[in-house]
Amino acid sequence: MAPTRRLVALDAPFTDQKPGTSGLRKRVKVFQQPHYTESFVAGILAAVPAPAAGASGHTLVVGGDGRYYGQEAAQLIIRMAAATEGKIAKIIVGHKAILSTPAASNLIRKRQAVGGILLTASHNPGGPNNDFGIKYNVSNGGPAPEGITNKIYDFTKTLKEYAIMEDLPEVDLSEIGTHQAGDLEVEVVDSVADYVELLHGIFDFAKLRAFFAARPDFKVLVDSMHGVTGPYALRIFGEELGLGAGAVMNATVLPDFGGGHPDPNLTYAHDLVERVWRDEIDFGAASDGDGDRNMIIGAHKTFVNPSDSVAVIAHWATEAIPYFKNGLHGVARSMPTSGALDRVATKHALTCYEVPTGWKFFGNLMDAQRLSICGEESFGTGSDHIREKDGIWAMMAWLSILAAFAEANPGAEVSLRAVLADFYAQYGRHYFARYDYEDVSSDGAKGMMAELRANLPAAGSLVLGNADMVVQESGDFSYTDPVDGSFTSGQGLYVRLENGSRFVFRLSGTGSQGATIRLYAEQYHASQVDLDPQQALGPLLRAALAVAKLQEYTGRDAPTVIT
Ligand code: VG1
Ligand code: CO
């Protein structure tokens, strides 16, 4: 039968397809309901701008982190794109529908695609009983801004029918090369090649190889957590840097991430943490399901806090990373991320922007050449080489810093610990901690936030009568994009103290059920730089929890994850 374009009617539109911090994330079972995935894809395809008059149809990039349901979703997108009557003329898709989020961002930019559809729920667990997700990125390679995600949501709420090609044979996504799906061209590309080429334009691979050659005992271990970075890490660390396949663990991409929680933090990447700290591995790193997050750890129980990570990278960038040799435009961090980056910016006479949580807020600044390096406390670090955070980039940046540190300090110990000590000696230390209370009741979480919002301790008052905790400023964070003037409010409740400490409460926007409350705390010490972070922050965290009445509202007396 010849493929035919068919309009499929919905009994009723879906009213729950509002994208969160990073795309639409739901249980796989929700996406598997009849028409559910189709509805959201229809919303995305409607948000793709029509090609200019007389111009040919657009190219769209499609790929995901290999999680369960990704294959089906990719085939569905092909059938729906083929029914756009020429709006989409071509799809570039990763081999077996696999692309890391950074690799997809790169492909969108490199191939001048109109955007991309990323099949991932990032660090959320995968498999038939866990999460799937769909994210739309625009032509700059970055997550669609809120104006567009709101439009997609509005579209789905009133959707009556969608178009799809029927009887279109499945495209064999395991076959690299060009395929035809009706009028639609489908190019299956190597998932890794373009991304590796990108990194070659950023880092000095020869210098890193020489660094390792001079230190045969230097041990590296990268944990891909059965997420998408396995093939990327094997190629880059195993082959290109000559470290061998043994330098990568959990490198096979699995649809359920081996049953694990592919979130690179001290709790969920415990296997790596145990090996690195037990075997005194010099450099350990992990990435999340879709490859945009990173955690960096090392021997001597070293943990690089992500808030410090972006600051240290910014500090070393021009010296350690060829891509930045002519200087930085500016730097940026999400609001809850600590002020360590601000200190680096001040010293180097750079502007430091503070944006709401979520990578979508960095893109405009990068496009306007105001921003080179940015990060989030949630293990996200990146630069304007693409428009997503980038886990492998961050690992390469840290290895480059170690190489530059060795050059600058002949004879000194070359370790993550030494790099951090050197940094703290220059800038002081922003102790930082985050408590996550996962899967609490939505009503409890909302109630807690509402009461705290109404009763935020006012400037000049003392937190719980504590004389050390004089409030300097408090509020609900909002942001006006300096490039396009768009305004975003309700981005987190913060209380800043006169001594420079701060705590922040916000609700997660990436979960798929219940609510997750995040508490962020930070405290600056100019000279006491080797305290235990949890101890240093203990009084502040306890005060914050009491002010918010967290236990009263949620029944929880301990966080699920501590960072
Ligand atoms: C979390 C992080 C945020 C990050 C987002 C997406 O969002 O806090 O910093 O940008 O995840 O990361 P939330 O709303 O749950 O706090 V990923 O790796 O899921 O794309
Ligand atoms: Co991610």
Rounded-to-integer distance, Cα 55 and Cα 262, Å: 42
How many residues in the chain?
A: 563
Q: Tell me which residue of 18, 184, 171 sits closest to 97, measured CA to CA.
A: 171
For the chain, the domains span 4-191, 196-427, 430-562
Interval between CA 337 and ligand 2 midpoint (Å): 17
Model-level pTM greater than 0.85? yes
Q: What is the largest CA-CA distance in the chain?
A: 79
Domains 4-191 and 196-427 share a fold: yes
Q: Does domain 430-562 have CATH number 3.30.310.50?
A: yes
Listed range (151-155, 295-299, 513-517) with the worst mean pLDDT: 513-517
Interval between CA 301 and ligand 1 midpoint (Å): 26
Residues with Cβ within 8 Å of residue 472, at least 6 apart in sequence: 459, 496, 497, 498
Please determine, for residue 276, whether its predicted confidence score (pLDDT) is greater than 70: yes
Share of the chain above pLDDT 90, in %: 93
**Is 22's C-beta closer than 6 angstroms to any atom of ligand 1?**
yes
Average pLDDT over all residues of the chain = 96
Please determine, for residue 513, whether its predicted confidence score (pLDDT) is greater than 80: no
**Is 334's C-beta closer than 6 angstroms to any atom of ligand 1?**
yes
Structure tokens at 31: 């996406």
What pLDDT, on the 0 to 100 scale, is given for residue 528?
86
**Is 509's C-beta closer than 6 angstroms to any atom of ligand 1?**
yes
Rounded-to-integer distance, Cα 339 and Cα 271, Å: 30
What pLDDT, on the 0 to 100 scale, is given for residue 431?
97
- Start-to-end CA span in the chain (Å): 57
Q: The tokens 């005992």 sit on which residue?
A: 217
Q: Tell me which residue of 370, 392, 367 sits closest to 141, measured CA to CA.
A: 367
Rounded-to-integer distance, Cα 378 and Cα 246, Å: 27
Specify the CATH superfamily of domain 196-427.
Answer: Alpha-D-Glucose-1,6-Bisphosphate, subunit A, domain 3 (3.40.120.10)
What pLDDT, on the 0 to 100 scale, is given for residue 1?
62
100-106 average pLDDT score = 98
Choosing from 18, 22, 386 the residue with most ligand 1 atoms within 8 A of its CB, the one to mutate for a pocket test is: 22
Residues belonging to the active site: 122
Going by alpha carbons, the residue nearest to atom 10 of ligand 1 is: 358
Q: The tokens 């990436």 sit on which residue?
A: 510
Ligand with minimal distance to 135 CA: 1
Going by alpha carbons, the residue nearest to atom 15 of ligand 1 is: 508
Going by alpha carbons, the residue nearest to atom 17 of ligand 1 is: 122
Interval between CA 122 and ligand 2 midpoint (Å): 4
What pLDDT, on the 0 to 100 scale, is given for residue 203?
98
> Could you say which DSSP state residue 470 is in?
B
37-54 average pLDDT score = 95
With beta carbons less than 8 A apart as the criterion, state whether 75 and 171 touch: yes
Provide CATH code, domain 4-191.
Answer: 3.40.120.10
Going by alpha carbons, the residue nearest to atom 3 of ligand 1 is: 358
Interval between CA 485 and ligand 1 midpoint (Å): 23
Please determine, for residue 148, whether its predicted confidence score (pLDDT) is greater than 70: yes
pLDDT in tens, 215-237: 999 999 999 999 999 999 999 99
Listed range (146-150, 171-175, 525-529) with the worst mean pLDDT: 525-529
Structure tokens at 77: 């997108």
What pLDDT, on the 0 to 100 scale, is given for residue 86?
93
